Homo-oligomer: A and B are copies of this chain.
Amino acid sequence: MLSPALTPFTADLEPDRPAFVGFCNWLLEQGANGLAVFGTTSEANSLSQRERMSLLEHLVEKGIPAAKLMPGTGAANLPDAVELTRHALAFGAGGVLVLPPFYYKNMPEDGIYAYYAGVIDRVARPDLKLYLYHIPQMSGVAITPTLIARLRKQYGGVIAGLKDSSGVWDNVAMLLKEFPEMAIFPASEKFLLPALKLGAAGCISATANYQVANIRRLIDTPDGEAREKLDGEVGKIRSVFEAYPLVPALKAAIAAKLKNPNWRIVRPPFAQLPEEKRRDLLAALGMKD
């Protein structure tokens, strides 16, 4: 199970490096097998190219094991995606999570294929482990089964897996059936138990930022009554967050948990939770301010 990692900012909207390192260490200590840094929940697409590279370097320099990192290295354009992917591999990242090019819409499958092929061919590293990132509600571009099959046929195990953030169970189940040799990660812990039964690699859930320890326990608990009960608790927390804009809500909850109000800060286009909603959220989670 990988945890995405929120990116903390200072009051002037700069990345807060010490808070970021501390948080990544905390997620690993709480039981994450690895960290999907610079994903959607990380506000990665609100970071510049240089910031993404500089923050990754900083994590590795400060002792976060690079092999446990699966940074997002996708971009709207091919050269930036190539640069980020090369950079992540140079720093020893265990894998990379790659968004499709997300500005242009209704593009032909040939164009999306050419982007992924362009990244792989230009990076030219047989040890590349590329995870496709299916999150059509944000990217506007779906990773279809025919695209995956074409990429697997050409590049084999380099196409190591896929994160399915669509929130559509039928899609997760289809991918697990069609691509048993790939590491498929649903994004919601709600799908964790049924997905594990079908061979999923785990999950990469935004709310792991808040309840990574619960998800760890859920995975480690054998089938039975205790596991069902735990699954209910995990699902309940997930449901609380789903009633709010996810990133600002997670940051508000982490700010309360770590007693550091700066954690509430988000970059545009996100906006902080209004004060009343923030209080409602903390109450629903049973937290004190």
Indicate whether A110 reaches chain B with its CB closer than 8 angstroms. yes
Indicate whether A79 reaches chain B with its CB closer than 8 angstroms. yes
Indicate whether A83 reaches chain B with its CB closer than 8 angstroms. yes
A104 touching B137 in the complex, CB below 8 Å, given contacts A51-B79, A110-B271, A270-B111: no
Question: From A109, which residue of chain B is reached at the shortest CB distance?
Answer: B271
Count how many chain A residues have C-beta atoms less than 8 Å from C-beta atoms of the other chain.
Answer: 42
Q: How far is the CB of A75 from chain B (nearest CB, A)?
A: 8
Residue numbers in B under 8 Å from A114 (CB-CB): 268-269, 271
Residue numbers in B under 8 Å from A104 (CB-CB): 40, 45-46, 138, 269-270
Indicate whether A80 reaches chain B with its CB closer than 8 angstroms. yes
Question: How many copies of this chain sit in the oligomeric assembly?
Answer: 2
Question: Are B78 and A268 within 8 A (Cβ)?
Answer: yes
Partner of A46, one of B77, B105, B271: B77
Residue numbers in B under 8 Å from A118 (CB-CB): 13, 268
Mark the stretch among A95-103, A175-183, A206-214 that contacts chain B.
A95-103
Indicate whether A112 reaches chain B with its CB closer than 8 angstroms. yes
Residue numbers in B under 8 Å from A245 (CB-CB): 108
> Hey, what's the 0/1 contact readout for A2-22 against B, CB within 8 Å counting as 1?
000000000001000000000
